[in-house]
């Protein structure tokens, strides 16, 4: 008989810093569900889990593509009509110096490809704090040390330009700007975008403009695409169908590269090497892009109306509850309340789930200034569900911490 030896197969060390707190808490929720309780979910930004539906004309476009045999591999950058529609969207966003567009399996893949195609070992990318944790996860996977800049809570969660300037080094290659922001819901002003562009111009940096929520502006603000203000700068603008067009499970995203042609040419060639290496994005799903960008936009009126009402309910509750305060979100569907509690926000969300069956995400999972505590609320659920969840959180806080600070 051959001798066998059981030996542990360890994961790569670079994965030790890969975290995704939005889903990492599901093990706690699973424990609660096994006990027979129903979870009130405030953790996942998936509109389809609530009272939102993918527009029918998008579904019809994908169905037709499947029936027409668009089920094999697609061209690596994307199908022609999708790329043309994305260029049209760039023009509507007033991006005038488009050099390339490409389709990916969600914005997540766009981010992964574009960061992988730019940063070398020992270099860094500036990412916001707080930020969407996919960025830090991708950089950790690449073995790149994090270099985070603060968003200023006292200034409506706008980027802290002084902190950004302080964090730029000779090894910094780019800046990530999430606008509207996840997790805070902030929207950058024109003046802020102009100042960010000037910083990037001065230091020869690429800007990664994540604008996946650009049509979900909740007030009378105008969303301004950074690339429209700086046609000379190398900018990659990310967009997709997940949020604006209520199709997160289809995994359809894209990137728009703009800037001076000669400056971005070698970078674009690198991106296309990576696009070819992974073959293609979801083929039939790409036929929803033109339908989405050039078809009826009626659903957005209803979506924004629901989100405004739920945002207002959320902010009013936060700012009338002891130990809580919240900057009002201006875009997307997230709020990022500040907690004044004597323990970590990671403990707060775990115990909240175990005791009151409300699932939220701890602020330390997104990043925050030292000495502060936050948690992220997804206000996609209907008002009745939100009211029930907020009552449970209020009871939990009173029982655990008392009425006042």
Q: Which two tokens stand for residue 224?
A: 């301004």
Once rounded to an integer, what is the mean pLDDT over residues 203-232?
Answer: 96
* pLDDT > 70: percent of the chain: 96
Measured over all CA atoms, what is the biggest interatomic distance in the chain, rounded to whole angstroms? Answer: 76
The CATH number of the domain covering residues in 56-294: 3.40.640.10
Residues of the chain with CATH 3.40.640.10: 56-294
Distance of CA 268 to the CA centre of its chain: 23
Once rounded to an integer, what is the mean pLDDT over residues 264-268?
Answer: 97
Helix (H, G, I), strand (E, B) or coil at 217: strand
Q: Class of 13-53+298-401 per CATH?
A: alpha beta
Q: Which two tokens stand for residue 187?
A: 């929207």
What tens digit of pLDDT does each residue of 34-48 get? 889 888 999 989 999
* pLDDT > 90: percent of the chain: 88
Cα–Cα distance, 204 to 194 (Å, whole number): 15
Kindly report the pTM of this predicted structure.
0.94
Locate the DSSP E strands across 146-234: 147-152, 158-159, 172-178, 206-210
Once rounded to an integer, what is the mean pLDDT over residues 150-164?
Answer: 97
Residues of the chain with CATH 3.90.1150.10: 13-53+298-401
Once rounded to an integer, what is the mean pLDDT over residues 41-65?
Answer: 96
């Amino acid at each position: 008989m051959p001798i066998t030896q059981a030996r542990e197969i360890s994961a790569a060390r670079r994965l030790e810093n890969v975290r995704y707190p939005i889903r990492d808490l599901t093990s706690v929720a699973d424990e609660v569900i096994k006990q027979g309780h129903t979870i009130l979910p405030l953790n996942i930004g998936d509109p389809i889990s609530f009272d939102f539906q993918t527009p029918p004309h998008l579904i019809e476009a994908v169905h037709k593509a499947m029936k027409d045999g668009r089920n094999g591999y697609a061209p690596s950058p994307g199908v022609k009509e999708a790329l043309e529609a994305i260029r049209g969207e760039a023009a509507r966003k007033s991006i005038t110096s488009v050099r390339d567009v490409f389709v990916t399996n969600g914005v997540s893949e766009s981010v992964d490809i574009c960061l992988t195609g730019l940063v070398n070992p020992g270099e860094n990318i500036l990412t916001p704090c707080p930020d969407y944790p996919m960025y830090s996860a991708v950089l950790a996977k690449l073995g790149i040390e994090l270099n985070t800049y603060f968003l200023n809570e006292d200034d409506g969660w706008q980027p802290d330009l002084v902190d950004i300037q302080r964090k730029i080094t000779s090894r910094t290659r780019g800046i990530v700007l999430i606008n509207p922001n996840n997790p805070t819901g902030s929207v950058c002003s024109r003046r802020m975008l102009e100042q960010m562009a000037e910083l990037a111009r001065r230091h020869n940096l690429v800007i990664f403009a994540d604008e996946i929520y650009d049509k979900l502006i909740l007030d009378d603000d105008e969303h301004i695409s950074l690339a429209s203000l700086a046609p000379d700068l190398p900018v990659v603008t990310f967009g997709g169908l997940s949020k604006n067009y209520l199709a997160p499970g289809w995994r359809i995203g894209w990137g728009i590269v703009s800037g001076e042609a000669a400056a971005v040419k070698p970078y674009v060639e690198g991106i296309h090497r990576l696009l070819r290496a992974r073959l293609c994005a979801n083929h039939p799903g790409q036929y929803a892009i033109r339908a989405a960008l050039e078809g009826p936009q009626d659903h957005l009126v209803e979506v924004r109306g629901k989100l405004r009402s739920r945002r207002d309910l959320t902010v009013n509750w936060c700012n009338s509850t002891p130990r809580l305060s919240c900057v009002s979100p201006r875009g997307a569907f997230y709020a990022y309340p500040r907690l004044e509690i004597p323990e970590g926000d990671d403990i707060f969300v775990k115990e909240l789930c175990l005791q009151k069956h409300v699932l939220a995400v701890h602020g330390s999972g997104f990043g925050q200034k030292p000495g502060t505590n936050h948690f992220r609320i997804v206000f996609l659920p209907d008002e009745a569900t939100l009211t029930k969840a907020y009552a449970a959180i209020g009871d939990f806080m009173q029982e655990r911490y008392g009425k006042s600070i």
